[in-house]
């Protein structure tokens, strides 16, 4: 997905959805773009979706207490498995029974005491993320005062996340319980059944809490819901000023859940207010141009002025899945014709036109050509469309492709001058050492691609040299040639040469970071550094 952010320059994020949505900024593939020009553009994207936690803390107790659940962990069943939909960080929910706070209070004054309590409970985030353990019912109303004194940022973040996660899951469970009750009452009302005084009073309280009219129970059902992590990430990007958020189509890949790309684009657009949301991209050989025109015409009708349509020629999957999609192996040969057909269906109606995309016709959804070779550059130039190069995983032909695109560009109704988005991987953390540590996740990810072993994002490791062979290191590093990591003080200086060399109008940034908190923080720091 792609995110773009305005700061005198623009920032965009593009990505694939892994887990729920992995590329925010990259979803469900996330990327970002930066431009050296006065009207610089920056885009961010991630290939693997990282969940974002919803704002649920208003309901938490204000006193400092830790409530421990009964030791019978078999009573804590996840509503959603951490492995569901390829989620690469914990997004499961636990059932929370009412806890007798009076008998289970424990006061923790130091981080050491908190860590010891976690160890006693067997609370290990690695095991939770892998689906081998559940989150204990442990509720801490505030953090020990000495947490800020811990020098290692990773240790501080881990303790904070382990503390907050049970609270988030508990509140999510409460929200889901309220939602189920509203559905039941809504169904009874649809059958003209009368509600008792208790149900009527409860509905009145809920409508006031969620800001809907008392008679509008249907809207209340929509409002009372949890926020999937990917949506939370998109909302964070929207808040930070990123302007573009793209999701990429891939199939039969456990680490990416954006196969139904148009569906997820609608979900993200609904949950955000300002950003452009789009496809980075739709693999057009997999689809009829008519279907894509209807899908994105519908999206543009629902969210006017906020939808982008990036298109790629590759199938985004293996040959077996391609046959399952009912597309032939030669479908990619028709890509130029398919783009023209799609463009016509999204444009104004012509005299004696027999087939119309409804909705879609005359929506003029902005089209992008995506590519990692010279073919896409030549096609984008010929059609006068903006061009995005996937240098975040295939950088070898970047400079040549950009040069050909600019040299051969022909102005069109959509675009008067060449417009280039360049992809890169960018990971930002509070310190250089932490950023280097986080960067071992994409290093492992690309090494596993070399091995032909795809899957969920792996956690970062301390020694990457022990993970890959010299040949694997060479191949993975070649694919990661447009990759950068660092602190907020250094990352801009590392990105500027790429922007200068390519003349990029936007920089698409991918951030394959294993845990959600660090991913969101990376985009926060990047936005600050590029401002």
| Locus of tokens 């809207």 | 219
Q: Which residues are CB-contacts of 48 (< 8 A; sequence separation ≥ 6)?
A: 16, 18, 19, 22, 23, 29, 30, 88, 255, 256, 445, 456, 457, 512
* Concatenated DSSP letters of 324-363: HTT--TTGGGGHHHHHHHHHHHHS---TT-----TTTTT-
Question: What's the alpha-carbon Rg for the chain, to the nearest Å?
Answer: 24
Q: Name the DSSP class of 83.
A: T
Give the H/E segment covering residue 393. none
pLDDT by residue for the chain (531 residues), tens only, comes to 333 333 333 444 443 332 222 233 232 233 333 333 322 344 444 332 333 333 332 222 222 222 222 222 333 333 322 332 222 222 223 333 333 333 344 556 788 888 888 888 888 887 776 667 778 877 776 677 788 788 877 788 788 878 877 877 777 778 888 888 988 898 888 888 899 999 999 999 998 888 888 888 888 877 787 766 667 778 888 888 888 888 889 888 877 878 899 999 998 998 888 989 999 889 999 999 999 999 999 999 999 999 999 999 987 677 788 788 877 777 888 899 999 999 999 999 998 889 999 999 999 999 999 999 999 999 999 999 999 999 999 999 999 999 999 999 999 999 999 999 999 999 999 999 999 999 999 999 999 999 988 888 889 999 999 999 999 999 999 999 999 999 999 999 999 999 999 999 998 888 999 887 788 889 989 998 987
Report CA torsion sign: 144, 146, 150, 151: positive
CB contact at 8 A, 422 and 402: yes
Q: Name the DSSP class of 191.
A: T
Q: Which residues are CB-contacts of 331 (< 8 A; sequence separation ≥ 6)?
A: 285, 286, 315, 322
Q: Which residues are CB-contacts of 85 (< 8 A; sequence separation ≥ 6)?
A: 19, 20, 257
CB contact at 8 A, 264 and 229: no
CB contact at 8 A, 131 and 83: yes
Kindly report the CA angle at 71 between 70 and 72, in degrees rounded to 5?
90
Nearest CA to 517 out of 454, 462, 438 is that of: 438
> Domains in the chain, ordered, with CATH?
3-52+227-530 (3.20.20.30), 57-223 (no CATH)
Q: How far is CA 491 from the centre of its chain?
A: 21
In a 3-state reduction of DSSP, which class is residue 91?
coil
Total residue count of the chain as it appears in this document: 531
Return d(Cα 304, Cα 40) in angstroms, integer. 24
Q: Three-state SS string across 248-268, please?
A: CCCCCCCCCCCCCHHHHHHHH
Return d(Cα 300, Cα 297) in angstroms, integer. 5
Q: Is 244 exposed, middle or buried (0-12, 13-18, 19+ CB in 10 A)?
A: buried
* Concatenated DSSP letters of 457-522: PPPP-S-GGGTS-HHHHHHHHHHTTTEEEE-TTTHHHHHHHHHHHHT-SEEEEE---SSHHHHHHH
């Amino acid at each position: 997905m792609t995110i773009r952010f305005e700061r005198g320059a623009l920032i965009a994020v593009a990505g694939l959805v892994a887990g729920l949505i992995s590329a925010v900024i990259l979803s469900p593939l996330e990327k970002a773009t930066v431009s050296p020009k006065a009207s610089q553009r920056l885009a961010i994207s991630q290939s693997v979706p990282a969940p974002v936690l919803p704002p649920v803390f208003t309901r938490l107790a204000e006193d400092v207490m830790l409530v421990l659940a009964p030791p019978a962990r078999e009573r804590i069943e996840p509503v959603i498995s951490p492995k569901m939909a390829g989620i690469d960080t914990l997004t499961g929910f636990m059932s929370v029974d009412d806890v007798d706070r009076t008998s289970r209070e424990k006061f923790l004054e130091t981080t050491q005491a908190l860590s010891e309590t976690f160890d006693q409970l067997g609370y290990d985030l690695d095991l939770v993320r892998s689906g081998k353990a559940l989150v204990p019912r442990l509720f801490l109303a505030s953090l020990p005062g000495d947490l800020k004194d811990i020098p290692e940022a990773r240790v501080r973040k881990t303790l904070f996340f382990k503390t907050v996660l049970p609270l988030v899951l508990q509140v999510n469970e409460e929200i889901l319980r309220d939602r189920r009750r509203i559905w039941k009452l809504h169904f009874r009302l649809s059958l003209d059944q009368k509600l008792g005084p208790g149900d009527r009073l409860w509905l009145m309280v809920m409508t006031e809490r969620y800001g809907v009219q008392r008679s509008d129970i249907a809207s209340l059902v929509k409002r009372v819901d949890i926020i999937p992590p990917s949506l939370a990430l998109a909302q964070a990007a929207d808040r930070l000023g990123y302007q573009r958020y793209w999701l990429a189509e891939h199939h039969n890949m456990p680490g990416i859940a954006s196969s139904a790309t148009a569906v997820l684009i609608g979900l993200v657009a609904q949950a955000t207010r300002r950003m452009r949301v789009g496809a980075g991209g739709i693999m057009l050989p997999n689809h009829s141009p008519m279907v894509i025109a209807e899908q994105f015409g519908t999206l543009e009708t629902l969210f006017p002025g906020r939808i982008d349509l990036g298109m790629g020629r590759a199938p985004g999957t293996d040959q077996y899945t391609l046959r399952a999609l009912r597309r032939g192996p030669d479908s990619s040969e028709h890509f130029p014709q398919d783009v023209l057909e799609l463009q016509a269906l999204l444009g104004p109606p012509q005299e004696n036109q027999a087939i119309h995309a409804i909705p879609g016709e005359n929506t003029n959804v902005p089209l992008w050509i995506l590519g990692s070779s010279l073919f896409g550059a030549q096609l984008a130039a010929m059609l006068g469309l903006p061009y995005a190069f996937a240098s975040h995983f295939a950088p070898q032909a970047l400079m040549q492709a950009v040069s050909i695109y600019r040299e051969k560009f022909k102005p069109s109704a959509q675009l008067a001058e060449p417009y280039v988005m360049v992809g890169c991987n960018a990971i930002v953390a509070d310190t250089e050492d932490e950023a280097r540590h986080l960067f071992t996740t994409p290093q492992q990810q690309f090494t596993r691609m070399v091995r032909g072993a795809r899957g969920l994002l792996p956690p970062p490791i301390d020694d990457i040299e022990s993970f890959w062979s010299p040949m694997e290191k060479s191949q993975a590093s070649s694919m990661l040639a447009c990759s950068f990591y660092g602190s907020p003080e250094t990352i801009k200086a590392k990105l500027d040469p790429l922007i200068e060399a390519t003349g990029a109008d936007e920089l698409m940034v991918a951030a394959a970071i294993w845990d959600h908190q660090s991913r969101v923080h990376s985009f926060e720091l990047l936005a600050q550094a590029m401002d």
